[in-house]
Amino acid sequence: MRTAPWLALCSLWTAFAADAPRRAVLASAEEIGAANRKADSIPWARTARARLLAAAESALKTPLDIPDKGGQWPHWYSCKKDGARLVTDSPVKHRCPVCGTIYTGEPYDSVPLYFIHGRNSAAARNLAVASRLTGRGEFAARAIAILTGYADRYRSYPRHTINGEDKVGGGKLMAQTLDESVWLIPVAQAYSLVADRMSPAGRAHVEDDLLRPAAAVIAEHKMGIHNIQCWKNSAVGVVGFATGDKALIDAAINDPERGFHAQIERGVTADGLWWEGSLGYHVYTLQALWPLAEAARLAGVDLYSERYSKMYDAPLALALPDGSAPGFNDNAGVNVSTVADLYEVAYARWGKAPYGRLIAGSRRDSLEALLYGHSDPPKGPIVPEESALLDSAGFAMLRARGTAVAMRFGRHGGGHGHPDKLNIVTYGAGRAFGLDPGSIAYGVPLHQEWYRTTIAHNTVTVDGANQGVADGAAGQWLAEGQVTRFTGSADAVYPGVKLSRELRLSPGQLEDRFVCASETEHIYDWAFHAPGKLTVSVKTVPRDGPLGAANGYQHVTEVASASTDEVWTAEWENGGAKLTLRFKAAAGTQVFTGVGPGRDPADKVPVLIVRRQAANTVFDAVHRFTGR
């Protein structure tokens, strides 16, 4: 059901949609004039304009290359053996830079075409904006040539999926409607800026043979609340605004199952985090949403709600002290400082001080800074100093002076979720220590064999099996000054086993108590992965082969083991910073050290695994951060 505010917006929308002429979708003529004046007087804006014009000059000098077929899924373009990104030696030869394996044929031959199509899309927008900033006709002419070239070919491109099938969900230029949408948005933005320089016949050709057919391919593939649908909405809606097609606009914004309003209302948790639980996909969704919100703004429709603004709050609430993301689930995310271009739009529309502080500390050389950037945003720290509990999203960020720990305890996150409830990521002494592996190219077997396993994360694995997809829950939460206490639980991820993790964070120290309870005996493996040099106080003996045969254990190599019933320690040293874990004594403790794949599969990250066989056990450790 639509809420009363939504119905009010729809009433305003009906008045607008009754007459929907072609409109600017990226920036108005007045805003482009203001961008030029800004660049004439402010150094960072001058740099942003120069960067944009340099990109346009480069595109102008590059021979126009519009492939005669569509591209393929870039996730295929990695080595099946070690996950390394392939290098294109020739159009029919694709080499692994690590092991030297040569890949030929499909889908490899078509993946480089994906990147060519993508470069053409970006070039069209850069050229179109440059033509408006400078008045140079040659920029507009090349943008029009790209648009017309694709209009000449688009209908003839076969529709294809990532598996080469002609079916709904595939694209023509790309292998899925997601990538078709990402491609189409800059193209439609370019068209809106150069349409007045085209003949009526030229405009009709681009609209009828490229923009609307591409929107139709995308719209035929209907999804629900998902980051992909957000991209599809923006592509369809931006085309609608650029061409004056009110049916496309209405579908993109008001469809009750999948439109913009539905995505914000049902896809954004009360804490502001996108429901899939990945900061990488959260940012990806933000990148999808703003082009439609801006196109609507330019048409007099305000999509910038307060709930939407919370999506910009969440990455700040979950940032580690250096601004980096904890890395949970697929797509580990990036340092918040690297997505300042998104916050240029956010600060322009909501004016919230934290957004301004983020952009003030950035280079401000993006297109978004040039078009929308405030001339004098406030300055100050970017990352909050307070702890934050995002209960509905299922994340906790505990902060103390120079120290932080993030725990993932709640909702699974759908197809991009990992089996890692009660997983923690830690930061202290100026370094990230506890490491979440994130994800690699989805087409590589190692992604399922390691990155989507429980043992690859800093939590407990039971009987060598991966956790189920059940959600966890928050328990105690108490944040007072420099001390924060939190308890998370996961009682349904393993049948008959209850897991809970109690954390107490103070400056330089984390008290970590992991409780495992069952009526029957199990093998519990407590794991912790961290970069640096790992040493343990107990004497270990090297073992032959990996730690196990499945569920990620086959990728834990260079294994050594020990047994102890006493107090013992493990220490990581990394660049002068040290993390020391002191474990309380517990009978029957087995200690394993080894290495496993890191964020880059070529990296070998030290891992500590503490094993107990019992019905009930408690892993009780204190993490101390020192040095630097």
DSSP 218-281: HHHS--SSSHHHHHHHHHHHHHHHHHT-HHHHHHHHH-TTTSHHHHHHHHB-TTS-BTT--HHH
CA 571, 575, 578: angle at the middle one, nearest 5?
Answer: 25
Which pLDDT value is given to residue 398? 98
Whole-angstrom distance, CA of residue 240 vs CA of residue 156: 23
Which pLDDT value is given to residue 184? 98
Angstrom CA distances, 153 to 68, 145, 148, 182, 593, stand at: 8, 12, 9, 18, 57
Weakly modelled stretches of the chain, pLDDT under 50: 1-19
Number of other residues whose CB lies within 10 A of the CB of residue 156: 10
What values do phi and psi take at 572, rounded to 5? -110, 135
Whole-angstrom distance, CA of residue 419 vs CA of residue 329: 9
Q: Which strands form 93-95's sheet, in the order they lie side by side?
A: 87-90, 93-95, 102-103
What values do phi and psi take at 467, rounded to 5? -60, 155
pLDDT 10s digits, 537-595: 999 999 999 999 999 999 999 999 999 999 999 999 999 999 999 999 999 999 999 99
pLDDT 10s digits, 1-55: 333 344 444 444 443 444 457 789 999 999 999 999 999 999 999 999 999 999 9
Helices (H) and strands (E) in the chain, counts: 17, 22
> Strand pairing partners for 526?
460, 610
Is 128 in contact with 190 (CB distance < 8 Å)?
Answer: yes
Angstrom CA distances, 477 to 395, 502, 503, stand at: 12, 10, 10
Residue type, 124: A
Residue from 191, 273, 183, 194 nearest 227 by CA: 273
Give kind and range of the element (H or E) at residue 605: strand 604-614
Pairing of strands 577-583, 568-574: antiparallel
Residue type, 500: S
Whole-angstrom distance, CA of residue 42 vs CA of residue 38: 6
Give the alpha-carbon dihedral of 338, 341, 342, 346, to 10 degrees.
130
Residue type, 116: I
Whole-angstrom distance, CA of residue 193 vs CA of residue 52: 15
Whole-angstrom distance, CA of residue 514 vs CA of residue 495: 18
Is 473 in contact with 409 (CB distance < 8 Å)?
Answer: yes
Structure tokens that stand for 142 in this block: 């090349």
